[in-house]
Amino acid sequence: MSVKPLPPTAVCGVLGRMTEAHRQRADQMAELAEAEGVSWAPSYLLPGLSLRVNAAAVVQRGERHLAGAWNAGGRLAASLLEQEWPAAARQADACGIRAAARGTGVVHGSVSGCQVLYVHITGGAVFFSTRLRWLAETAGTLSPDWQAWTEIISFGAPLAGRTTFTEIRRLGPMEYVEAEASGTVQLKQQHWPWEDYAPQARTDIDAATQDTVEAMAALMRPHLHSPANPMLSGGRDSRMLTALARREAADPGALTAWSTSSDAGSALEELVAAQVAAELGLQHRIITGRYSQFGQDFAEYADAVDHQSSLHFWLMPVARQLRSSPGAVFDGIGGGVLLGGGFADPRHAERMNTQELLSARIQARARYLTEAERVFSPGAAAALRRRAQAGALPLAEQYLGHPNAHTLTSYLIRTAPSVAPAPAKVLGGAQPAVMPMVSDQVAQIALSLPHEAKAEGAWYPALLAAADPRLRGMPTADDLTGTRHHKRRIAGREAARELAGLIRGGPAADLLSEGLRAADPAEPQGVITWQRLLSTQRPQHLIRGLAMLTLWLQDYAEQLTDTEVRSISHA
Amino acid sequence: MPDKPIQTSWLGTRVLPAAHRARRAARKAVRTARSRLRPSIGSLGSTGLDLPTTDLTAPGGPGQVRRCDVVVVSVPAGQQGIPQPWLPVLIAAERHSVPTVLLVTAAEELDQPLAAVVTHLAVTQQPLLPQVQDFAGAERTARLEPGSPPREQTAALLALTGTHTPVEKA
């Protein structure tokens, strides 16, 4: 029986002291969402609570209390709300709310931290929203967080729950805001169970493989009674999920596998994906962006992620197409870090002292800065390095002696903050997005395996064969080691002019190196200078960060207490 | 979502990229020299060009790709996806840095998956050129003169695919 497709998840509200101003702000947030096309279910209004959710969330209301849960995928069981919130967050990777009398209760994040929920604590209440724009545009004056911008430029996203506004935070794994009867509203941290998972010496790999595949299949099954959209690249994680979708789908003919170009200079990913789709007998679509639309795509991506990540701008064309293809999207976020064993300490780690080890773990995620002088003035480049290291150090120190130290550090520096907005907000803004690989069930098994069982992708052949024996031995795009001879869209003349014009025409130009400040993109030699930098991964990443900063300032300058981007240089 | 580790070892950040660059430069030099003496054009589908080409849909096609300077591709009539037998040929072209040029004869062909995987696009009809340039950018697009001698058409294909980032003409 086919089930009606869900809309992308949308939630906003306020919990705590309820003044007329607070009520009005909650209404304004809801109106902003409606203007973007969100259709709210009837509002939930209790003393001290105003909550708006759409059909993707599940809510239970009693006489004096309310419980709600949601994630980017939707289709959560109502029985989830009968558990305490930490258990619900863990079981369904759900964010949620538990409200009791007179505005007391909690607003909580998910176990993976990949589900996106923003909070603004002010005036004895917590305002919350799945979209940062709804919070920011209704908040009045806000302060820029230049440390967050340093981290977007250096790593791809702000770390440790920061956002580009000092007053607004994104909830991390098992973080929550509690509104107490005393009127106190505070951000707190529930114990994160992933810290408890450690490699076990004796592990049955075959059983772990079966359990992992079946855990993912169980999470996908509720979404496969209607059309669905697995994302399929040339890699292992996406083909595993695509094969599972094929296996679990009530009607495999209603599945469409989607591929796009990650603008990496090769079409091997799309071609290998086409081979996999053909092998599995699935419909397959390859969507790439038009060169003339680069500027629009970049601006739409910036809006979709609320300017909080600079990594996956190339997803926008496929996200746009997905809007007219109802059904859940399946995304393999977390596969590389949890299943692939690719994020491990260097081989000579045991000979490193503590500081060297911490630096190695941080710099492994901040390699873009090795090319900082090609993009930034010397002062700005040095300040970015200092601030990036300082911002990431507490995260790295937290897990220094943990048996999964490098994995957890990488996860908290890269996967949850930088990568998650792509499935949760870009694809998740088009259709409900399901992320089975960052579920607690999968993380528990994967983090309990010995490192050598996963190192350099050692576990993948067994996982792929368990998902579908036809995947056995099929090469990935990485296995075929192609060369990057395609012109990248971002390095084309059109995109280079767009990005250079944007940055040079805004306040972020103050951070540029002399060479880039002098390179006029209207001139043939000037645009070549920008194109050459955009052709290489690291300078390109830094330039994207500056472009994102410029778009953010265009959108929010009038609300900000300070727009002096040179503050980034003042560590 | 791709979540790959960034290469951090000395081997991964210095040696391998340098080896890749050296290999690519060597291949390019050999190909440039060979293409001047005796250019070799491969084809997938009916190109409609008056050019001697190697038909890569024949058995052993993928093995012949690396000896080609360019592979010219056309959208097969009545087919929505990439024909399955063409996939190994196109993959071989990617692996050996052999440019692939789609000859576009109608604007609708830009929605075909082949347009998303080739390195360059070419047209013979002037009115189509702006739409193709919108799709693939000025640097990846060219117009081939219909009815021009094979040598000129070959030279135009090599000129289109030979320079990664050409300086814009005034």
pLDDT tens digits along A475-495: 999 898 767 789 999 999 999
Closest CA relative to residue A341, chosen from A446, A222, A246, A412: A446
C-beta separation of A276 from A474 below 8 A: yes
Q: Give the gap in angstroms from C-alpha B110 to the nearest C-alpha of chain A.
A: 10
User: What's the pLDDT score for residue A1?
Assistant: 53
Distance CA(A490)–CA(A467), nearest Å, equals: 35
Q: What share of chain B is helix, strand, coil (3-state, %, to 5)?
A: 50, 15, 40
- Tell me the CB-side half-sphere exposure of residue A307, using CA atoms within 13 A: 22
Name the pLDDT band for A521 (thresholds 50, 70, 90): very high
Distance CA(A82)–CA(A3), nearest Å, equals: 24
pLDDT > 90: percent of chain A: 89
Q: For B21, phi and psi rounded to 5 degrees?
A: -65, -45
Name the pLDDT band for A356 (thresholds 50, 70, 90): confident
The closest CB to that of A291, out of B6, B99, B135, belongs to: B135
Which among A236, A271, A343 is the top mutation candidate for probing chain B, defined by the most B β-carbons within 10 Å of its own β-carbon?
Answer: A271
The three-state secondary structure class of A107 is: strand
Contact list, B1 vs chain A (CB under 8 Å) = 231, 312, 331-333, 419, 422-423
Evaluate if residue A160 carries a pLDDT over 70.
yes
Distance CA(B90)–CA(B92), nearest Å, equals: 5
Residue range A293-316: mean pLDDT, rounded: 97
Residues 6 or more apart whose CB falls under 8 angstroms from that of B138 comprise A492, A493, A494, B168
Evaluate if residue A350 carries a pLDDT over 80.
no
Could you give the strand order of the β-sheet that contains A328-330, starting from the edge strand earlier in sequence? Answer: A228-230, A328-330, A433-434
Query: Of A64-73, A105-114, B16-25, B104-113, where does mean pLDDT reach its minimum?
Result: B16-25
Mean pLDDT for chain A?
A: 95
pLDDT > 70: percent of chain A: 98
Q: Give the gap in angstroms from C-alpha B51 to the nearest C-alpha of chain A.
A: 24
The residues of chain B scoring below 50 in pLDDT are: 2-3, 5-6
Distance CA(A196)–CA(A174), nearest Å, equals: 14
Name the pLDDT band for A64 (thresholds 50, 70, 90): confident
CA distances from A106 to A102, A188, A209, A294 (A): 12, 10, 36, 41
Structure tokens at A173: 């794994």
Q: For A489, phi and psi rounded to 5 degrees?
A: -60, -40
Altogether, the residues listed in chain A come to a count of 571
C-beta separation of A194 from A408 below 8 A: yes
Residue A536 touches chain B, beta carbons under 8 Å: no
Class of residue B144 by CB neighbours under 10 A (exposed 0-12, middle 13-18, buried 19+): buried
Distance CA(A328)–CA(A128), nearest Å, equals: 24
Closest CA relative to residue B65, chosen from A235, A489, A471, A271: A271
The closest CB to that of A271, out of B3, B9, B94, belongs to: B94
**CB spacing of B5 vs A364 below 8 angstroms:** yes
Query: Of A254-268, A311-325, A533-547, B28-42, where does mean pLDDT reach its minimum?
Result: B28-42
Query: Of A169-178, A497-506, B144-153, where does mean pLDDT reach its minimum?
Result: B144-153
**CB spacing of B9 vs A233 below 8 angstroms:** no
User: What's the pLDDT score for residue B23?
Assistant: 81
CATH of domain A11-195: 3.60.20.10
Contact list, B82 vs chain A (CB under 8 Å) = 271, 274
Evaluate if residue A528 carries a pLDDT over 60.
yes
User: What's the pLDDT score for residue B170?
Assistant: 67
Residue range A545-561: mean pLDDT, rounded: 98
Distance CA(A269)–CA(A261), nearest Å, equals: 7
CA angle A242, A243, A244 (to 5 degrees): 90
**CB spacing of A487 vs B2 below 8 angstroms:** no
User: What's the pLDDT score for residue B8?
Assistant: 56
Name the pLDDT band for A81 (thresholds 50, 70, 90): very high
The closest CB to that of B165, out of A274, A483, A531, belongs to: A531
Structure tokens at A134: 């709804």
Evaluate if residue A38 carries a pLDDT over 60.
yes
**CB spacing of A286 vs B113 below 8 angstroms:** yes
Evaluate if residue A428 carries a pLDDT over 50.
yes
**Which residues are bridge partners to A501 per DSSP?**
none
Distance CA(A546)–CA(A552), nearest Å, equals: 10
Distance CA(A397)–CA(A408), nearest Å, equals: 11
The widest CA-to-CA distance across chain B, in whole angstroms, is: 54
CA distances from B169 to A172, A344, A523, B147, B166 (A): 51, 48, 10, 25, 9
User: What's the pLDDT score for residue A359?
Assistant: 85
Evaluate whether the domain defined by A197-332+422-471 bears CATH number 3.40.50.620: yes
User: What's the pLDDT score for residue B13?
Assistant: 67
Distance CA(A57)–CA(A177), nearest Å, equals: 19
User: What's the pLDDT score for residue B2?
Assistant: 44
Residue A550: how many other CB atoms lie within 10 Å? 22
What residue segments make up the domains of chain A, in order of their start?
A: 11-195, 197-332+422-471, 349-411, 489-569
Q: Give the gap in angstroms from C-alpha A492 to the nearest C-alpha of chain B.
A: 7
Do the bridges between strand A66-70 and strand A58-61 make them parallel or antiparallel, or are there none, so unpaired? Answer: antiparallel
